[in-house]
Amino acid sequence: IELVFATNNAHKLEEVQAMVGNDIRLLTLADIGCTDDIPETGDTFEANASQKSSYLYTKYGYDCFADDSGLEVEALNNEPGVYSARYSGTRDMEKNIDLLLSRLGNHPNRKARFRTVISLLLDGKTYFFEGAVEGEIGYKRQGSGGFGYDPLFTPDGYDKTFAEMTAAEKNAISHRAIAVAKLAEFLKATS
């Protein structure tokens, strides 16, 4: 099966490509000649994911899926959530991480979760697949792998951050891995 992955985030693309292997042939936005800044104005992961996949399906007619994801920190009322990519008002992750660390300060509740919602648009119908992973926010950055907030996030049951893991380790347990496994299973069952 061939599907367009509606993302401009090269890290997501690399992770999902590694997860699906040969099961799904992923086309990128570049492959279909789309350079649009796809609108993302919802206030839930579901709304944003389906906004991205609908945009592509409506304009280009391709079966496609989109990933909307982010970090929810319990002591910050689940911020940054859907605003994860632009928490500080910019896409600069150094600034976004600094803001999160300063807002959390020395708060003893470090609980957080990463969430992904995938929206699949197939033959004009939308399907959702979710994944979440619980963990804790550190007091400083640790590790240089992964992307986004990975240097701050240690999943429960582990003693290193996502950024200290190999790509294979992160991709075996991440929020995105859980959602992508559900997507792949659905596609296998329907094809």
Question: Catalytic residue numbers?
Answer: 68
95 versus 186: smaller Cβ distance to ligand ITT = 95
135 versus 187: smaller Cβ distance to ligand ITT = 135
Smallest separation, CB 167 to ligand ITT (Å) = 11
Interface residues with ligand ITT (CB under 6 A) are 7-9, 12, 40, 67-71, 84-85, 114, 146-150, 162, 174, 176
- Tallying the residues shown for the chain, one arrives at 191
118 versus 187: smaller Cβ distance to ligand ITT = 118
- The token pair at 61 is 């007619």
Smallest separation, CB 133 to ligand ITT (Å) = 9
Smallest separation, CB 134 to ligand ITT (Å) = 14
Q: What is the DSSP string of 14-78?
A: HHHHHHHTTSSEEEPTTTTT---------SSHHHHHHHHHHHHHHHH---EEEEEEEEEEGGGTT
What are φ and ψ of residue 132, in 5° steps?
Answer: -145, 150
